[in-house]
Amino acid sequence: MKILILQDHLRSGGTERQSIQLARAARAAGHGCTLMTFRPGGALAAGLAGVEHRPLQLFDLRADWFAPGLSRAVRRENPDIILCMGRMANCYGGSLQREFPAVPVVATFRTGKPLPWLFRRSLGIVRHVAANSLAGRQRLVEQYGVPRERISVIPNALVIPPDAHAPADPALRARLGAPPGATVLLCVAMFRPEKNQRELIATLADLPATADWQLWLAGVGPDRSACEKLVLERGLGGRVRFLGYQADPSPLYASADIAVHASRSESLSNFLIEAQSRGLPVVAYQAQGVRECFVPGRTGWDIAPGDRPSFCAAVARLMGDAPDVRAVRAAEARVFARERFDPGRQATAYFRLFEKLKSR
């Protein structure tokens, strides 16, 4: 089977990591697979060992939507399946299905944001849609009118291999200014308005004055400067650390204590499932698919958006847990995440779907 994965750009987001991992899994399983992007380069472009990558733009025009020569490139590839990953690629799904009616085009639904018109149009034309959460499938049915039988739910896979034995690094904590005994709160996400780090900072500022905590924010993006300004305004310079882009955030997971997230727009958070796989409890504001990232009330707590007192109360309760309680919760989180979001399980689900569609 020859698979074509379509993606606009290899920025540092979760969807892009999922695309690369699936491309590697396809080749490892003996399938031909090409990862075709609109733009060349990107934060993840240096880590494409074992992936056949073909950008459409000869040099980076910085236009995520521009896919020059897409039809010709698809014809040359002659794929059995086309998988559209990301908003821009999915906008082309409908036109590709009409141009190549014998080739099943599979759209993906991996966002909580409103969909562009072309994306919505494609949902009614492509052969099938893969949603990465049960909540996402429900939204497809209720809001966009996609028949349930044309939707498969295939969750995200862990893209950073978990290491159950990775110890906390006191040197890293000390280097980042976390005092001994402090609770380190972690959020790994691009700095985009919908990821809502400003609300997270403002919420945690309401923790009791006696609480000993530090917030680590890993990621890049246009909203970082506004977050840095807010930290200065709230006098939190000693509490909040901006760590930038982390190609491998594993050391952060190993050295943090609690995962916190205030995103307004999710489908299934890669950050939260990665945190669970390393045993971190989760406190997050409610968004599409968030409850599917943990065991509610046992390894994670979802809070109504904007309910800062409840969010802080959940964090404070976790900060006060005894070591044996933390150990039990961490073990349950690791087992849940590693079984539910196993990469092999995800790849197998995609390949079975592709074979089923190809045989029709």
Count of residues in the chain: 360
CATH architecture of 2-157+342-358: 3-Layer(aba) Sandwich (3.40)
183 has pLDDT over 80: yes
Whether the Cβ atoms of residue 193 and residue 223 lie closer than 8 Å to each other: yes
Indicate if the pLDDT at residue 194 is higher than 70: yes
| The predicted structure's pLDDT at residue 236 | 94
Q: Which pLDDT score, from 0 to 100, does residue 267 have?
A: 86
Starting at the earlier edge strand, list the strands of the sheet with 128-131: 52-55, 32-37, 2-7, 81-84, 105-109, 128-131, 151-153
Residue in this structure with the two tokens 């590697």, named with its chain if needed: 24
**pLDDT (tens digit per residue) in 207-221:** 998 999 999 999 999
Q: Enumerate the H helices of 145-223 as residue ranges.
A: 170-175, 197-204
Residue found by looking up tokens 């939190």 in the block:
236
In Å, what is the CA distance from 224 to each residue of 217, 264, 311? 10, 16, 22
Domain boundaries, the chain: 2-157+342-358, 170-340
CATH of 170-340, one of 3.40.50.2000, 3.40.50.970, 3.40.50.2020, 3.30.1050.10: 3.40.50.2000
Domains 2-157+342-358 and 170-340 belong to one CATH topology: yes
Q: Is the pLDDT of residue 165 over 70?
A: no
Question: Could you tell me the pTM of the whole model?
Answer: 0.89
Per-residue confidence (pLDDT) for residue 226, from 0 to 100: 97
Q: What is the pLDDT of residues 223-236, one digit of tens each?
A: 999 999 999 999 99
Strand residue runs (E) in 143-275: 151-153, 183-188, 213-218, 240-244, 258-261
- What are residue 108's DSSP bridge partners? 130
Model confidence pLDDT, tens digit, residues 62-78 = 999 999 999 999 999 99
Helix axis angle, 343-358 relative to 14-28, nearest 10°? 70
Q: Convert the pLDDT of each residue in 317-351 to its tens digit.
A: 999 999 999 999 999 999 999 999 999 999 999 99
The crossing angle, in degrees rounded to 10, of helices 197-204 and 308-319 is: 70
The 10s digit of each residue's pLDDT in 11-41 is 988 899 999 999 999 999 999 999 999 999 9
Using pLDDT thresholds of 50, 70 and 90, give the confidence band for residue 170: confident
